[in-house]
Amino acid sequence: MAPMRSDVTWADIHLDRLHANLDLIAETARVPLMPVVKANAYGHGAVPLALELQRRKDVAALCLWTVDEAIELRKAGVKRRLILFGGVPQGRAKEAHALGVEPVVGDIDRLPELARAATAKCPFPLHVKFDTGMNRLGAPPARAEALYRAVAANPKLRPVGLMTHFVDAEKKRGVVTRQITLFDDLCRSLTGAGFALPPRHAANSAAACLHPGARYEAVRPGIGMYGYQTFAGAPIGLRPVMEWRAKLQFVRTVAKGASVSYGPRWRATGPTTVAALAAGYADGYSRRLSGKGFAIMGNVAAPQIGTVCMDVTLFDVTGVDAPRTGTVATLMGDGVGADRLAALAGTIPYEILCGVGRRVPRHYLKNGTCVRTLRMI
């Protein structure tokens, strides 16, 4: 798609790839999907992706973190079930209940306020979370059965899900296998006590592919849906959904010994063609990529040089054929994925994707044609 004339940086969001990635995960998991669209759909734009995903018959629910994220989706017309991983903060139970969301609970102390916001005719649907090793959120094993009993015994509350979260699903063995065993033991304890369990869910993208025993009645694809395989092994065919591009704002030649940008941290070893791209760390191109990153122009990987600035990033385009103002470069996508940038910046692809800023418009493509544009400012 040709960018809008006014755009100097933008992200192409390939909806065809989104569906293809989910198809691959679904074919492996063979259970309903509950895609994770929290944190603005990992930077891809929560509203357009949620509206797209709710068209799929295999999507049972969408996973968020906050009440405000749920409000955004409901206002946009998203009708599917919404699971709130972050639960409901104090004072917002009535608001959350009116939205029809399904909070995650891991502590008995949160139940009274949730019950007061509901009625026996319209109970609060809850996902009960057991902590099997993260030591972060959820009821630890010693209190897990008591939490579930408290939810199941209250006519104003209704358990609609039973869940846990894995420490390191990217490995075939280790802590995840112990977590699965512990979760299964807790579930057997509940069934032994006479409870009919609601659907269980635990697996993210990696666990859905690597751990058959973790698929239960639904899986929660996140980073895999967006095109990144975080576990070792043969590639399963995922492709990046987001491609971030920017235009060259100027091109100039600097002499041997000249520096560029703040610092200076880079000097030319000979005559060098330098180009400035209209994206910087305020747009999400991390300053930690200074002297490490690269952009794709044509078939050339142009190295990033000097310090990444707030609004501009400089690249050595000496090897690029006829670079000029307006030439389009790929900052992230095929050939320069978020996983590669993350490795260079010393972080993870999740952070790189989530970091793409509000100033970057998102263009949503189907079959190469833009079907929607999202501008956040």
Residues marked active site are found at: 38, 262
Quote the strand ranges of 4-90, DSSP E.
9-14, 61-64, 81-84
CB atoms under 10 Å from CB of 373, counted, come to 16
User: Dihedral (C-alpha) 205, 210, 215, 221: value to the nearest 10 degrees?
Assistant: 0
Distances 136 to 35, 253, 259, 350 between C-alpha atoms, Å: 22, 53, 47, 19
Query: What phi-psi label fits residue 261: left (phi over 0), alpha (psi between -120 and 50 degrees) or beta?
Result: left
Nearest residue to 211 via CA among 35, 339, 220: 220
Nearest residue to 249 via CA among 163, 352, 327, 342: 327
Residue 264: cis peptide before it, omega within 30 degrees of 0: yes
Phi, psi of 246 (to 5 degrees): -155, 155
CB atoms under 10 Å from CB of 191, counted, come to 10
The answer to whether 356 and 331 have CB atoms below 8 angstroms apart is no
- With tokens 């919404």, the residue in question is 82
Angle between helices 15-29 and 46-53 (to 10 degrees): 50
d(CA 376, CA 283): 12
CB atoms under 10 Å from CB of 71, counted, come to 16
Token digits of residue 332? 């992230």
Helix and strand tally (H, E) in the chain? 11, 15
**Three-state SS for 191?**
helix
Query: What phi-psi label fits residue 61: left (phi over 0), alpha (psi between -120 and 50 degrees) or beta?
Result: beta
Print burial letters for 114-130: b (CB count within 10 Å at least 16), e (below 16): bbebbeeeebbbbbbbb
Token digits of residue 41? 């759909």
